[in-house]
Amino acid sequence: MKQKRLVMQTIQAVLSRLRIVTMYLILFVGVPSSLQAAPFILSQPVALPAEVVTQLKSAQPGTGHRWQLVVFGFTHCKDICPMSLANLSILVKAAAVEQIDLGGVFVTVDPDRDSHAQLASYIQGFGSDIAYLRFEGETLAHFKATFGVEAVFFTKNAGNQSSYQVDHSTTAFLIDPAGRIRLIFDALEDAAQLAKLFRENRALFAS
């Protein structure tokens, strides 16, 4: 539990720093929006708790030495999640060109509507290297908390269990084969820069 709290605090500190820097650029520097997005490489990799590493590896069995891109979402998402997964698919292919073994993991924040069958069908169109994870209750809460991810449900109540909306972050994570967070990025905005990093920062993937 102590390790998990430390991981959560570290990720939250990094995300807070990213938000502060972004707001500074927008308000005071006036950097064009096209230049604001940038993957954040952690100077000190953050080791995930052992149970979280095991859960991530269970999404893609037999790929113990693989890097993983982790993104959160839900299958009823009309545009953000499909775009995020399309970017993950592009990044997996870009990594393969550089001989980097990389897979993507889509974690649903809405297990009440996202069955295993729905998730399997949903990710099928994004390539065989994109997998999914589905948790419920406290297991999901702990997994999201480890990554500092929150989801807000609108109009979900006893009388509406199917047509509600979900708001969640597009923050994604690059995890190394040892189960350490190496990089935090925006799944919508940072794909091009991350693909460039695959080409130009090979040292990251050798460490």
Strand partners, 47: 180
Was 168 annotated as part of a binding site?
Answer: yes
Which CATH number is 110's domain given?
3.40.30.10
Give pLDDT, residue 20. Answer: 39
Give pLDDT, residue 39. Answer: 83
Averaged pLDDT in 10-residue chunks for the chain of 207 residues: 57 51 38 54 92 94 86 91 95 95 95 94 95 96 91 63 72 95 94 93 84
Strand partners, 73: 108
Was 77 annotated as part of a binding site?
Answer: yes
Give pLDDT, residue 95. Answer: 96
Other C-beta atoms lying within 10 Å of the C-beta of residue 181: 22
The number of domains in the chain is 1
State which residues form the domain around 196: 2-206
Give pLDDT, residue 202. Answer: 84
Task: Output the CA angle 15-21-26, nearest 5 degrees.
Answer: 125
Was 142 annotated as part of a binding site?
Answer: no
Give pLDDT, residue 142. Answer: 94
Fill in the amino acid letter for 199: R
- The whole-angstrom separation of Cα 11 and Cα 148 is 6
Residue matched to tokens 């993507």: 104
**Verdict on whether the full-model pTM lies above 0.85:** no
- pLDDT of 16-30, one tens digit each? 554 434 433 333 444
